[in-house]
Amino acid sequence: MERSGPGQAFLPGANSVLIVEDDEPIRELIGAFLTDEGFEVTLARDGQGAVRAVRERIPDLILLDVHLPDGESVENLMPRIRACAGSDVPLVVMSASHQQGRAAALGACGFVPKPFELEMLLQEVRFGLISQQRSVMGMRMLRSQETV
């Protein structure tokens, strides 16, 4: 597990991204790009690394490749990650095999087909973070109305 330093935050309080990708050049490229865009990045190469990273610090968003080297299916991995991170952490799935249906079944808020343009990946990450913040703000508003 590797960590990159933060740049200028995209959203106050919502700028950490866990990248789970087994292909090191792709993992490093995405990590460097998102760091340059102001995100705090944690990198993991497999499911075990992802679970360890989430136990250390819950990210604001998880960017996950569906084909991981340790043979663990993402269908088995996601419940372990969700048990540590909770269900409200947005998930963006990356895949070379155009599996939007599988991504949706995992509860992903976004899908990035490989190969991809970095700007497209950035849009999905930002959309996931914005959607999650809106959801949290909506829940807070509902709770405050209940106490009035």
Q: Which residue has the higher pLDDT, 5 or 52?
A: 52
pLDDT score for 139: 43
CA–chain centroid gap for 48, Å, is 15
pLDDT score for 68: 83
Return the closest-CA partner of residue 110 out of 28, 45, 17, 10. 17
Which amino acid is located at 79 in the chain? P
pLDDT digits (tens, 9 = 90+) for 45-58: 999 999 999 999 99
Is residue 137 predicted with pLDDT exceeding 50?
no
Report the percent of the chain where pLDDT is more than 90.
50
Question: What CATH number is associated with residue 23?
Answer: 3.40.50.2300
pLDDT score for 31: 97
pLDDT band at 13 (very low <50, low <70, confident <90, very high): low
Provide the token pair at 72: 């663990």
Is residue 3 predicted with pLDDT exceeding 60?
no
From CA 135, how far away is CA 148, in angstroms rounded? 20
Provide the token pair at 29: 């490229």
Q: Is residue 18 within 8 Å of residue 91, measured between CB atoms?
A: no
Q: Name the pTM for this structure.
A: 0.82
> Which residue has 């969700």 as its token pair?
82
pLDDT score for 136: 46
From CA 64, how far away is CA 139, in angstroms rounded? 26
Return the closest-CA partner of residue 15 out of 37, 30, 32. 37
Residue numbers of the domain that contains 112: 2-146
pLDDT digits (tens, 9 = 90+) for 73-118: 788 888 888 899 888 899 999 988 777 887 888 888 889 999 999 9
Q: Is residue 51 within 8 Å of residue 81, measured between CB atoms?
A: yes
Q: Domains in the chain: how many in total?
A: 1
Radius of gyration of the chain (CA): 15
Q: Is residue 80 within 8 Å of residue 49, measured between CB atoms?
A: no
